[in-house]
Amino acid sequence: MPAGRPPSRRPRMVDVARVAGVSQKSVSNVLGGYEPVSPELRAKVERAVALLGYVPNSAARTLRTGRTGVIALAVPNLSSPYFAELASHLTDAAEERGFTILIDETDGDEEREALIARGLRHDVIDGLVLSPLAMDPAGIAAAARDLPMVLLGERELPPSVDHVAIDNVAAAREATHHLLGLGRRRIATVGGPLDDVTSTGSLRLRGYRAALADAGIREEGPVVPTRRLQRHHGAEAVAQLLDAARPPDAVFCFSDTLAFGVLHGLRMRGVRVPDDIAVAGFDDVTEAAYSNPTLTTVHLDRRRIARAALDVLVERLEGTRTQPAGRLVVDHWLVVRESTGGHPEGERVPPQDSR
């Protein structure tokens, strides 16, 4: 068969190798993501695959390797910009390594999280990237003994399971220090839930309180917990903030989506941001750079988080990661924009040691 001409039968890996001018092992490495390959080799193989219309035989791969090439991602809510962007980054990273991502929404429901972690689709997935909100640490640790797993999210989670996260306490402390540096002294918080000392909200509240203590402020502003971190919860919190005996002069929200709701609620009440009340968020989702005013927020490197989680999981699957499970902390930083008096395009503020 002349090189470059698609065969009449269904193309095989040997045909891809012949057209690309490389070995079958090289094709397998590119398509399976088993070993690092050069950009030139990847480009040759991908051109040949596109030309031939080659489709890998997943059943054969499963028999040969014991793996399906599918990784599940379970997050609370894909309508959340943070989780939607995270899922997109993970999908991109997986595609580069020859894996497919299967996405599940849990709505932060404990039974749903447990079902996914303990058995749902285990016959078709190689491993799981899980962002748990409600599942107890003991249950997570037990499930991880049967399925390769990497955890995401900002809760304190079992140390026996690989976990990619940021330092919530430090990040919240830095955001609060920024508000204090503006001369704001009555700083409120919006976010939660706060009924679990290991929850995201509780960790961020701890950082907020640490910053107040650093500044010698004994009386904190209104603390408004929310059931979830959505826009309408932030908008609903505004009434409690403004009707308090001593309304705040700044609000630190535990998510950007809450902050967008707070901005809307303040605008509806005729409150000027940042003149009357400064507002800061957490996550730095894409919308933060386009809100009105643009939002000061803690930036989480979702691309780095996604790629780190996938790298750890794939290394566990391939047996190349031999160190004990642990917590991998990804950098964060503050982006100062209009909602606290900054430039519309934002300025990156490196982490400060506020201890």
For the ranges 35-49, 75-89, 152-166, 179-193, which has the lowest average pLDDT?
35-49
* Residue carrying structure tokens 């303040």: 266
Domain count, the chain: 3
Which of 303, 293, 305 shows the shortest CA–CA distance to 336? 293
Asked whether residue 141 is assigned to any structural domain, the reply reads: yes
* Angle at which helices 39-52 and 24-32 cross, to 10°: 90
Cis bond upstream, residue 158 (ω within 30): no
Residue 4 lies in a domain: yes
Mark whether 38 and 142 lie in a shared domain: no
| 82 and 23 assigned to the same domain | no
What is the span of the domain harbouring residue 320? 68-166+302-331
In a domain, residue 91? The reply is: yes
Position 224 scores a pLDDT of 96
275 and 316 within one domain: no
Q: Is the pLDDT of residue 213 over 80?
A: yes
Task: Judge whether 48 lies within some domain.
Answer: no
Each residue's pLDDT tens digit, 314-350: 999 989 999 999 999 999 999 999 999 999 999 999 7
Same domain assignment for residues 136 and 188: no
Q: Is 151 in the same domain as 292?
A: no
* 81 and 30 part of one domain: no
Same domain, 100 and 246: no
Residue 227: give its domain's CATH number. 3.40.50.2300
User: Are residues 209 and 112 part of one domain?
Assistant: no
Is the pLDDT higher at 9 or at 81? 81
- Both 191 and 95 in a single domain? no
pLDDT at residue 302, rounded to an integer: 94
Is the pLDDT score of 155 beyond 90? no
Residue 232 counted as domain residue: yes
Residue 58 has pLDDT above 80, yes or no: no
Question: Residue 53: inside a domain, yes or no?
Answer: no
Instruction: Indicate if 13 and 73 belong to the same structural domain.
Output: no
Residue 176's pLDDT is what?
Answer: 98
pLDDT tens digits, residue range 249-294? 999 999 999 999 999 999 999 999 999 999 999 999 999 999 999 9
The reply to whether 60 falls in a domain is no
Cα separation, 37 vs 79, whole angstroms: 35
Task: Judge whether residue 62 has pLDDT over 60.
Answer: no
Residues 231 and 338 reside in one and the same domain: yes
- Read off the pTM: 0.79
Do the domain assignments include residue 58? no
Residues 191 and 286 in one domain: yes
